[in-house]
Amino acid sequence: MGKIFDVEFMIEIIPDILRGIPYTLTLAVVSFIIGLFIGLIGALIKIYRVPVLRFFTGLYVSFFRGTPLIVQILLFYYGVPILLRIVNQKFGTSFDVSRVPAMVFMLVAFSVSAGAYLTESIRAAIISVDKGQLESAYSVGMNTTQAMVRIVLPQAVKVALPVFANFFIGLLKDTSLAFAASVTEIMGQAKIEAGRASRFFEAYIDAALIYWAICIIFEFLVAKLEKNVRRNERGIAK
């Protein structure tokens, strides 16, 4: 009779599962950065009520916040190749979809999804800054762009930092869905190793502990950053 729970196997496959960390971190970090850029543009469009763009931004945010991430992943993974084939037929181009790594599709899917959520987070953070700050900037000769970059956005970032941290942790965990598109991140590696020996429980425990460890490290770094920000604010107040 075989072992019910194989600790030796669980320890043995840890190095193999760890090979998925670069994919997980790349997917989470790059998607978050691109999502911030998309979110900032979307937030400014909504705040300044830009005609036409405001409607499409609202539609974009509504769709990606209102549909499951796994559905979005599959739509990009299967939809983009179909779109490129249509472009090839219509314009006589020769885009070779088969040469595009699955990681590229996942970066696009995660970035666009992140941008939708961060649009509202950034908008709320900007709105939370006292309007008097903007008026004071105008009074000393700054234009809107200068006032946003030098005065409003730095304060908005401080307000949004905890929200950004929580969102990034969620995004980091959501990367486990990328294996649906053949990206072998942490969870993908765990499934592969588990399938070889039919030891899924042990492999999933490893994956859970690795995700947990990464989140603990990230939370520690964010706590240090928030502490430094508060210290700087107290220093300025003095």
The per-residue pLDDT for range 33-62, each reduced to its tens digit, is 999 999 999 999 999 999 999 999 999 999
The DSSP letter of residue 97 is G
- CA quadruple 160, 161, 167, 171: dihedral, nearest 10: 130
CB 3 within 8 A of CB 198: no
Do 25 and 48 fall into the same domain?
yes
Do 47 and 124 fall into the same domain?
yes
**In the structure encoding, which two tokens stand for residue 182, read together?**
């053949």
List all residues 6 or more positions away from 12 whose beta carbon is below 8 Å from its beta carbon: none
List all residues 6 or more positions away from 150 whose beta carbon is below 8 Å from its beta carbon: 137, 142
The pLDDT assigned to 1 comes to 44
Cα(21)–Cα(207) distance, rounded to whole angstroms? 10
What's the Cα-to-Cα distance from 83 to each of 77, 80, 95, rounded to whole Å?
A: 11, 5, 11
Cα(106)–Cα(193) distance, rounded to whole angstroms? 22
In this structure, the chain runs to a length of: 238
Do 81 and 151 fall into the same domain?
yes
pLDDT 10s digits, 198-220 = 899 999 999 999 999 999 999 99
List all residues 6 or more positions away from 108 whose beta carbon is below 8 Å from its beta carbon: 76, 80
CATH number of the domain encompassing residue 76: 1.10.3720.10
Do 62 and 126 fall into the same domain?
yes
The domain containing residue 150 runs over which residues? 21-183
CB 134 within 8 A of CB 152: yes
Do 125 and 59 fall into the same domain?
yes
Instruction: Give me the residues of the chain with pLDDT under 50, please.
Output: 1, 237-238
Q: Does residue 12 sit in helix, strand or coil?
A: helix
Do 110 and 169 fall into the same domain?
yes
CB atoms within 10 A of CB 15: 9
Do 97 and 148 fall into the same domain?
yes
CB 133 within 8 A of CB 152: yes
- CA quadruple 184, 186, 187, 192: dihedral, nearest 10: 60
Do 126 and 212 fall into the same domain?
no
Cα(140)–Cα(203) distance, rounded to whole angstroms? 61
Do 50 and 161 fall into the same domain?
yes
Residue among 126, 118, 122, 121 at smallest CA distance from 152: 126
Residue among 180, 27, 189 at smallest CA distance from 108: 27
Q: Which of 155, 183, 211 is the last residue of a domain?
A: 183
The pLDDT assigned to 95 comes to 80
Do 77 and 115 fall into the same domain?
yes
